[in-house]
Structure 1
Amino acid sequence: MKNVPLDTVDHIHRAVLPIGTDYPPGHVLDWHEHRRAQFLYGATGVMVVDTDEGSWTVPPERAVLIPAATQHRVRMLGVSTRSLYIEPDAVPWWPATCTVVDVPPLLRELLLAAVEFEADYSLSGREGHIAALLLHEIAARTPLPFHVGIPASPDLAALCRAYLAAPDAGVTNATWAARTAMSERAFTRRFRAETGDSPAVWRARARLLAAVPLLRTAPVTEVAGRLGYASPAAFTAAFTRAFGTPPSRFATRDPLRASGV
């Protein structure tokens, strides 16, 4: 199924409902939730998924597992999605919070095949076997660290969401402490208690997450400068330490140059 609203097929008795959807650049799916768990794969582009608990950046050709009945918002940056909406009883092993995972070639091809199914596809033939194999493949995925936690307190959460929207290397712990009318020591202690990280470590990770969508349209050198790194090498080293892969893997490429023209 493609470009079909979930609520028109949610009643159908299938544990797995595959739906492919194309979104215009910059489209935002505002806060909502699904009765089913969702496997959201970005065949193209970058997605940013927010919940009350955190923010997950989904690089190209990765996916995010969203638990059932989880309020979330998704910002689409040039994205064509392939989603699986899954009955919670069929996946008792599903993570309790959103989780970004890799999508290897077999899983990608299964997803592409599944979105061609009709809503009431046969459970006993090829389509039913593909649906079952999809769940086996998803269960084997390894979580990827493309996320930051969001504090529960509204004032700290507001600071963090504003920073994610516009990362600024010039912001310090003292800056944030002043905005919350707290001493720097008290602010740092409270922030660490709610997130598990110091404010400085949290901001550094948020800046690296912000690099992922920027790399769609700008080279590594430009992204490093925009995010306040002293050099592209320093940015590359920090990005690789955080995510296990260099930023060049996500960088824009000139198709003519890549083809040798």
Structure 2
Amino acid sequence: MKNVPLDSVDHVDRAVLPIGTDYPPGHLLDWHEHRRAQFLYGATGVMVVDTDEGTWTVPPERAVLIPAATRHRVRMLGVSTRSLYIEPDAVPWWPATCTVVDVPPLLRELLSAAVGFEAHYSLSGWEGHIAALLLHEIAARTPLPFHVAIPATAELAALCREYLAAPDVGVTNATWAARTAMSERSFTRRFRSEIGDSPAVWRARARLLAAVPLLRTASVSEVAGHLGYASPAAFTAAFTRAFGMPPSRFAARSAGGGPGPGHRL
């Protein structure tokens, strides 16, 4: 099925409903939730998924597993999706929180085939076998660490979401403490109690997550400078430590390449 609203087929008696959807650049799917669990794969572009508990950045050709009845929103950056909407009782192993995963070639091909199914696809033919194999392949996926937690307290959550939208290397613990009318020590202790990391560690990881969508249109050198790193090498080392792969895997151009006409970060 292509570009079909889930609500129009959610009642269909199939454990797996595959739907492919094309989104305009920068499209925001505002806060919503699904009765079914969702396997959300971006065949192109980058997705940023928010829940009340955290933010997950989904690089190109990766996917995010979204638990059933999870309130979330998704920012689509040049994305064409291949989604599977899955009855919760068909996936008792589904993670309790959103999880970014790898998508190997076999799974990509299965997803591409599945979005061509009709809603009432045959369960006994090859379509039914593909649906079953899709669940087997998803269960074997490897989690990837492309996320940061969001504090439960509204004022701390607002600071974090604001920073994710526009990371600023000049922001310090003292800056955030002043915004919340707390001493720096008290603020840091409170933040750590909710997240498990210090505010400085959280901001460093948030800047690295922000690099993923920037790398769609900029070189490693440009993104490193924009995010306040002393050199592309320092940025590459930090990114690789955090995510297990270098930023060059996602870069539009090699480091050192100049910006193209009209380029903006």
Length-normalised TM-score, structure 2 = 0.95
The one-letter code sitting in structure 2 at the alignment partner of 1:206 is A
The runs of 4+ residues in structure 1 deviating greater than 2 Å are: none
Residue 105 of structure 1 corresponds to 105
Encode CA deviations 1:24-79: one digit per residue, 9 max, x unaligned: 00000000000000000000000000000000000000000000000000000000
The one-letter code sitting in structure 2 at the alignment partner of 1:135 is L
Residue 135 of structure 2 corresponds to 135
Structure 1: stretches of 5+ with no match in the other structure: none
The one-letter code sitting in structure 2 at the alignment partner of 1:149 is A
Q: Give secondary structure in 1 for the equivalent of 2:221.
A: helix
Q: Give secondary structure in 1 for the equivalent of 2:82.
A: strand
Residue 145 of structure 2 corresponds to 145
Post-superposition offset of 1:142: 1.0
Indicate conservation of the 8 Å contact 2:220/2:248, yes or no. Answer: yes
Residue 239 of structure 2 corresponds to 239
Matches within 5 A, 1:183-222: 183-222=183-222
Matches within 5 A, 1:35-184: 35-184=35-184
State the distance in 2 between where 1:192 and 1:39 align.
31
Indicate conservation of the 8 Å contact 2:220/2:253, yes or no. Answer: no
The one-letter code sitting in structure 2 at the alignment partner of 1:29 is L
Residue 14 of structure 1 corresponds to 14
| Aligned residues: CA RMSD | 0.9
The one-letter code sitting in structure 2 at the alignment partner of 1:46 is V
State the distance in 2 between where 1:205 and 1:89 align.
35
Indicate conservation of the 8 Å contact 2:38/2:83, yes or no. Answer: yes
State the distance in 2 between where 1:250 and 1:197 align.
27
Length-normalised TM-score, structure 1 = 0.97
Post-superposition offset of 1:220: 0.5
Percent same amino acid among aligned pairs? 90
The one-letter code sitting in structure 1 at the alignment partner of 2:210 is A
State the distance in 2 between where 1:218 and 1:183 align.
38
State the distance in 1 between where 2:87 and 2:192 align.
36
The one-letter code sitting in structure 1 at the alignment partner of 2:82 is R
Residue 30 of structure 1 corresponds to 30
Structure 2: stretches of 5+ with no match in the other structure: 258-265
The aligned length equals: 255
Post-superposition offset of 1:253: 3.6
The one-letter code sitting in structure 1 at the alignment partner of 2:98 is C
Q: Give secondary structure in 1 for the equivalent of 2:203.
A: helix
Encode CA deviations 1:151-182: one digit per residue, 9 max, x unaligned: 00000000000000000001111110111111
Residue 5 of structure 1 corresponds to 5
Indicate conservation of the 8 Å contact 2:45/2:60, yes or no. Answer: yes
State the distance in 2 between where 1:200 and 1:106 align.
40
The one-letter code sitting in structure 2 at the alignment partner of 1:218 is A
Encode CA deviations 1:136-156: one digit per residue, 9 max, x unaligned: 000001110000000000000
